[in-house]
């Protein structure tokens, strides 16, 4: 009975709906790389995010003519090992990219005379 209880207490928390926590964290890392990569590639004019290169810790845009390094400390000698520390670094990186994207949107909307939060009302004749 104690063995069953120990098994439930130790193994159950490490799985969520059949997935190991390591798999969930790894997906979180690659989702952050993909989401951040989309912002970098699109705002730099290189289509969309294409892929992740673990060998040199960079993301490659879809048109393959541009790549960008991921933040310092995200990768080690064998690529990206997704830990909570790495997730934190990627979340901060993604947050900065989100701010950059919002700043660009606001600048474009200001230049075009529209408010990104509240659309300009037009008068009806």
Average model confidence (pLDDT) for the chain? 80
- Give 115's contacts (C-beta < 8 A, 6+ positions apart): 109
Mean pLDDT over 54-66 rounds to 92
> Would you say the pTM of this structure is higher than 0.85?
no
Domain membership of residue 65 (yes or no) is yes
Domain membership of residue 7 (yes or no) is no
In a 3-state reduction of DSSP, which class is residue 72? coil
74-81 long-range contacts, CB within 8 A, separation 24+: 78/54, 79/54, 79/55, 80/29, 80/33, 80/52, 80/54
Residue 29 has a CB neighbour count (10 Å cut-off) of 21
- Lowest mean pLDDT of 7-11, 36-40, 115-119, name the range: 7-11
Query: Helices 21-43 and 84-112, interaxial angle, to 10°?
Result: 30
Domain membership of residue 74 (yes or no) is yes
Q: Give start and end residues of each alpha helix (H) in the chain.
A: 2-11, 21-43, 84-112
Q: Answer with the residue of higher pLDDT: 39 or 13.
A: 39
Q: Which domain holds residue 50?
A: 20-112
Cα torsion through 11, 14, 19, 22, rounded to 10: -130
Domain count along the chain: 1
Domain membership of residue 67 (yes or no) is yes
Kindly indicate the confidence band of residue 23, based on its pLDDT and cuts at 50, 70 and 90: confident
Domain membership of residue 5 (yes or no) is no
């Amino acid at each position: 009975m104690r063995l069953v209880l120990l098994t439930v207490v130790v193994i159950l928390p490490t799985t969520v709906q059949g997935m190991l926590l390591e798999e969930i964290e790894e997906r979180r890392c690659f989702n952050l790389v993909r989401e951040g990569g989309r912002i970098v590639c699109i705002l730099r004019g290189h289509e969309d995010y294409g892929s992740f290169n673990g060998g040199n810790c960079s993301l490659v845009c879809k048109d393959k003519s541009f790549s960008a390094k991921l933040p310092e400390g995200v990768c080690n000698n064998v690529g990206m090992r997704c830990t909570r520390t790495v997730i934190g670094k990627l979340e901060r990186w993604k947050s900065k990219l989100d701010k950059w994207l919002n700043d660009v949107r606001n600048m474009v909307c200001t230049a075009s005379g529209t408010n990104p939060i509240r659309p300009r009302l037009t008068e009806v004749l």
